[in-house]
Structure 1
């Protein structure tokens, strides 16, 4: 079971990276893994938002993930080297 303290700890760590370029590796199920680079735009009490650029077009898209996704290893968030 995931404790509330664990979620608040993950949220505090993610809060420190707002505005930074990050790489998100998301497990979408059935052996589908999506890797995207973007900017960590904002954090909310239960989710965080990443702004990613579409590869085919020159448009941006916002993608949101929950902090429990990080705790359950469905999403990996890492800083990009600039």
Structure 2
């Protein structure tokens, strides 16, 4: 399977969760791991955007689908009482 199809598959898997609360764990390198909770705001052809409220300040953080594929970002979505974790493009 080509890389483009894999990344398009990740986007398709995320699409139903737009507007849903998510938790993300991002590896920012050099032992710096960031954990945030927010809302999956939108998906675009190459990136997805998460809206995060920190200390009453609203921010938007974008990540590429390749970040999920390489496990630099791990998303966990809670829907209907079940947690769905996106790792290596699999829900």
- TM superposition shift of 1:34: 0.2
Bigger relative contact order, structure 1 or 2, given CA contacts below 8 A and separation 6+? Answer: 1
**Which residues in structure 2 correspond to 1:63-82 (within 5 Å)?**
63-80=61-78
Task: Tell me the TM-score normalized by structure 1.
Answer: 0.90
- TM superposition shift of 1:4: 1.0
Structure 2 unaligned residues grouped into runs of 5+:
82-91
TM-align CA RMSD: 1.4
What is the match of residue 87 of structure 2? none
Structure 1 unaligned residues grouped into runs of 5+:
none
Task: Tell me the TM-score normalized by structure 2.
Answer: 0.82
**Which contiguous aligned blocks of 4+ residues in structure 1 show a shift greater than 3 angstroms?**
none
* Alpha-carbon distance between aligned partners in 2 of 1:29 and 1:13, rounded to the nearest angstrom: 26
CA deviations on 1:32-80 (whole Å, 9 max, x unpaired) are 10000000000100000000011xx211100000000000110001114
Total equivalences in the alignment = 79
* Alpha-carbon distance between aligned partners in 1 of 2:78 and 2:22, rounded to the nearest angstrom: 5
